């Protein structure tokens, strides 16, 4: 009979892994817990965990890492998005009274890139079969499960320590949207102003 951990155990192990490897590595790279009250940082309900972190870089570039760890799957889903903030801020603390919800909604969310899955430059079938992803892949025994969990842990640590590589890949595909403190795109704000004249 094949080994399969209980869904809660699988969830808790992946969450513990991300806290100990992913979150720690991101904080070492300058990322901080989201200042927005609308963002999750921990358990979202009885089944899932979500974590949203930001890093403020030069020229008011706001880099967002959002992670979802869901009960009924083997993945750790990590998504990257980047914005340009105006007017200028000196720290994330200045955004704590702002509305962060629109960072998660279209059109601002359309440039999200899922790490590994969206960064391979090959056909999906190839990377699904041969290239590493943020997933506990096939196993048949408890020993095999633990081995896969360890490999996932090592991959998460490596990728979070090298997050600037993924930021570079994101910039090859996208340009940051300019967003004001109210989380509205500057383009949308200009169009609204024009229409009311």
Of the chain, the end-to-end C-alpha distance in Å amounts to 71
Q: What angle do CA 155, 14, 68 make, to 5 degrees?
A: 90
Strand partners, 75: 135
154: CB partners within 8 A, 6+ apart: none
Q: What is the Cα–Cα distance from 157 to 144, expressed in whole angstroms?
A: 20
CB-based contact 85:181 (threshold 8 Å): yes
How many Å apart are CA 105 and CA 89, to the nearest integer? 22
User: What share of the chain has pLDDT > 70, as a percent?
Assistant: 84
Which residues lie closer than 8 Å to 44 by C-beta, 6 or more apart?
50
pLDDT tens column, 144-162: 999 999 999 999 999 999 9
pLDDT by residue (tens digit) across 23-70? 999 999 999 999 998 899 999 987 899 999 999 999 999 999 999 999
Instruction: Examine the pLDDT at 165 and tell me if it is beyond 90.
Output: yes
- Phi/psi class of residue 77: alpha, beta or left (left: φ > 0; alpha: ψ in -120 to 50)? beta
The answer to whether the beta carbons of residues 77 and 67 sit under 8 Å apart is yes
């Amino acid at each position: 009979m094949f080994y399969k951990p209980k869904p809660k155990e699988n969830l808790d192990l992946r969450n513990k892994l991300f806290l100990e490897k992913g979150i720690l590595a991101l904080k070492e790279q300058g990322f901080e817990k989201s200042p927005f009250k609308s963002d999750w940082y921990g358990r979202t309900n009885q089944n899932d965990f979500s974590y949203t972190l930001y890093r403020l870089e030069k020229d008011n570039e706001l880099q967002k890492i959002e992670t979802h760890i869901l009960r009924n799957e083997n993945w750790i889903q990590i998504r990257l998005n980047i914005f340009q903030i105006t007017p200028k801020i000196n720290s994330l603390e200045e955004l704590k009274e702002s509305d962060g919800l629109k960072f998660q909604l279209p059109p601002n969310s359309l440039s999200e890139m899922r790490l590994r899955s969206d960064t391979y430059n090959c056909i999906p079938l190839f990377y699904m079969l041969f290239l590493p992803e943020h997933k506990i892949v096939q196993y048949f025994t408890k020993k095999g499960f633990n081995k896969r969990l360890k490999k996932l842990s090592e991959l998460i640590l490596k990728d979070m320590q090298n997050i600037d590589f993924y930021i570079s890949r994101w910039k090859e595909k996208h340009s940051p949207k300019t967003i004001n403190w109210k989380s509205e795109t500057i383009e949308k704000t200009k169009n609204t102003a024009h229409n009311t004249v």
